[in-house]
Homo-oligomer: A and B are copies of this chain.
Amino acid sequence: MSEAELQDLLDHRAIEDLLVGYATALDGRHWERLGAIFAPNARVRYGDRDWLEGPEAVASYCRRVLERLDLSQHRIGTFDIKVVGDTANSSCYFAAEHVRTLGRGVARYTVGGTYRDLLERGAAGWRITQRELEMSWTDGDPEALR
């Protein structure tokens, strides 16, 4: 075993925790946590929308979309993480539930896709510097998200 192999394990662990931290921040409505997940100059694009610049713009967008829901659950996994020195590429799959009570009952809308990320290691640890959400499939009632 080499130092490099062990460092790779630690980096992989740290990055996976960061990706999970995004999901649980959204589902727990902890918008302020996104400042420790994205780099100050990070850019994020949800599907074919415009790029959002910086963690506050991301937080503000997610808040607007998710706040009106009863709850959300961003299940993530199938992590494909490649670390090269102080930078990394990552992709992971998500299946996100969005649940909302409407006049006619409880609506559920599921969105599946991929997060494609670039990351950098800075003084405070790993941060996402670029995230692109690629949507692959949906299920259920889109009214839940409208």
Q: Which residues of A pack against B, CB within 8 Å?
A: 1, 3, 5-10, 12-13, 17, 20-21, 23-24, 71, 73-80, 91, 93, 95, 97, 99, 108, 112-114, 136-137, 139-140
Contacts and interface: CB of A to CB of B under 8 A. Distances in A.
Nearest to A139: B108
8 contacts: A6-B6, A23-B78, A73-B113, A73-B137, A75-B77, A75-B112, A97-B136, A139-B140
Copies in the complex: 3
Contact of A24 (B73, B75, B78): B78
Q: Taking chain A's interface residues, is the majority helix, strand, or loop, or is none over half, making it mixed?
A: strand
Contacts of A17: 80
Contact of A7 (B1, B12, B97): B1
A75 B17 CA distance: 18
Contacts of A13: 8-9, 12
Nearest to A76: B78
Contact of A20 (B6, B8, B79): B79
